[in-house]
Amino acid sequence: MSRLILTAFGGDVSDTVSLDQGPDLVPGPEDLLVAVEAAPVNPADFLLAAGWYGVRPDLPYALGAEGVGRVLDAGSAVERTLVGRRVLILPTYEQGTWAHRVVVPARNVVAVGEEGDALQLAMLAINPATAYLLLNRYVPLQPGDWIGLNLANSAVGQYVVELARRAGVRTLAVVRRDAAAKQVQALSADVVLVDGDDLGHRVAQSLGDARLRLFLDGIGGTWTSAVVPSLETNATVVSFSSVTAAPPVLPLGDLIFRELSLHGFFAINWVREAPRSEIEETYSALAELVEKGVINAAVEATYPLDRYREALAHAQQPERSGKVLFTFERTDAS
């Protein structure tokens, strides 16, 4: 059973990640043995490997936060009806999904249907759930409301645009290069702008008399200040990522006198703390949208596990147009 493990924090992942022939896997009483079909490589995986993340596991650590697979066996305390079912593996960081097979606590999976594309389902647990919660947790949005987001060509951004459009919410999407703008325009965002010195003016011009009720920031730093004049009084800014490794900065006058709200969001906290019924309802609804082709994220490449160095290098390229995933061929035993 091959898996990828992290042996040290920091440094180059080509040196700190290695392919390991793990032990034979036998599920405990409350566990499942899952044959992994596909598992994505996320930016958070590199933050974890660098030692700069909200999770810092003991080493050596089996990598991979999420994925989709099929249950091969179940422990004595788990319903046997799950055997043979396709399941999402939730990002609790208690198991690594960059592996042909993995033992997973039964509480860390959600059963899904057979019709969805394995690559899209493999990416469901983090980014689509993040997008859904960003749109529904902070502001009671109504059809016709405007929201804004940067990093709009990211997987989270793509899902936000698609889910917002489905809800009748209008989107002002900002990207950092022309090629990314074309990608987001294809998703039918209402306004797509490329970052630049006059961004604030172009945002205001595009909105006219409208204002943003919610702004989703994935870049951090002073970037958000350009759109602040186009936010409603009492509007909400949510930071879900930071490619600059800096916190978002809001002008003090606007923060106080216009009573803006700033929140941080970490999807893993929701996965760990939300009621089981809420988790199942959310993921079942999102999986159904995947099956219907309503939501999806661009995939740029897939790799077998033994080409992990190539896959990790590819996933770190700054101008990708889609996600990188590991895929695993199904055998008679799985």
Give the closest residue to 216 by CA, choosing from 176, 178, 160, 260: 160
Helix axis angle for 155-167 and 178-185, nearest 10°, is 30
C-alpha separations of 11 from 6, 47, 237 in Å: 11, 11, 33
CA distance 216 to 155: 13
> Where would I find the H helices in 51-198?
118-122, 127-136, 155-167, 178-185
262: Cα within 13 Å, side-chain hemisphere: 17
Segments in the chain below pLDDT 50 = 331-334
Domains of the chain with CATH codes:
2-126+268-327 (3.90.180.10), 138-264 (3.40.50.720)
Question: What is the H or E stretch that residue 304 is in?
Answer: none
> Where would I find the H helices in the chain?
13-16, 43-50, 118-122, 127-136, 155-167, 178-185, 199-207, 252-257, 267-273, 276-291, 308-315
Please give the pLDDT value at position 177: 87
Please give the pLDDT value at position 334: 45
Give the closest residue to 308 by CA, choosing from 322, 323, 326: 326
Please give the pLDDT value at position 333: 45
* Per-residue model confidence as pLDDT tens digits over 63-89: 999 999 999 999 999 989 999 999 999
CB proximity list for 218: less than 8 A, separation 6 or greater = 149, 150, 151, 154, 156, 157, 239, 240, 241, 242, 243
Residue keyed to tokens 């945002």: 203
CA distance 80 to 71: 10
Residue 161: Cβ-neighbour burial (10 angstroms; 0-12, 13-18, 19+): buried
Q: Write out the two tokens for 237.
A: 């800014």
Beta bridge partners, 325, equal: 40, 302
CA distance 1 to 37: 14
What's the whole-model pTM score? Answer: 0.90
CA distance 217 to 221: 10
Residue keyed to tokens 């645009």: 161
Please give the pLDDT value at position 40: 97
CA distance 232 to 146: 10
